[in-house]
Amino acid sequence: MGKNLSYVGRLELIGFVLFGMVQFWLSIFLMPESVIKQITCICRNFLWTGSIIRNKSALVAWKNVCLPKAEGGLGLYNITARNNCFLVKQLWNIHLKADSIWICWVHHFYLQDTNIWTVPLQQTSSPLWKSFIKLRDRLLDDLGGSQQLSPCCKIGVILQSFFRLMLINT
């Protein structure tokens, strides 16, 4: 089917269908790098060949494909950066004590009398919680420490800092 579509048709299919299906999982879990590489490989092959199996030389580097259209890219997003940004949003929801069952459970089980920005990493924690704490530590390093975060701190400052960090590392 993909062979019958133009590049624009394949790009739209990737952007809306394939990336749309992945979006939900990116917002909940830290995706393993091997899974992200496989998804990227499938999307890249489909865009350039119309098949998820066939591989040929790409016309443009994937890093450039993932740039915004205003910067000369095709408007697809970097999956790793998107995954990390969604998880930073979850950190912020934990910080604000958003009213959800999962966040109440996190406060009861992991945080108790502390907050997300100062809780130490426990070896007995779940892999998901460990990934949150590692991501928090990367973010705090970029911001200059947890003392920079006051209750009135806006998520925009945190996300802007994290976007800078992700653009440097991708």
pLDDT at 170: 47
Q: Quick one: pLDDT at residue 36?
A: 93
Contact (CB, 8 A) for 46 and 10: yes
pLDDT of 2 reads: 66
Q: From the CA atom positions of the chain, what is the Rg in Å?
A: 19
pLDDT (0 to 100) of residue 3:
72
Neighbouring residues of 90: CB distance < 8 A, sequence distance ≥ 6? 27, 132
pLDDT of residue 75: 87
For residues 16 and 105, give the distance between their C-alpha atoms in angstroms, rounded to a whole number.
33
CA distance 99 to 101: 7
Q: Dihedral sign, CA of 157, 87, 31, 143?
A: positive
Cβ-based burial of 79 (10 A; exposed 0-12, middle 13-18, buried ≥19): buried
Per-residue pLDDT of the chain (170 residues; tens, 9 = 90+): 667 888 888 888 888 888 888 888 888 888 999 999 999 988 888 888 888 877 777 788 888 888 888 888 888 888 988 888 888 888 888 888 778 898 899 999 999 888 888 899 888 988 889 988 988 888 887 776 655 555 555 555 666 666 665 554 44
Task: Quickly tell me which residue has 């998880």 as its tokens.
Answer: 87
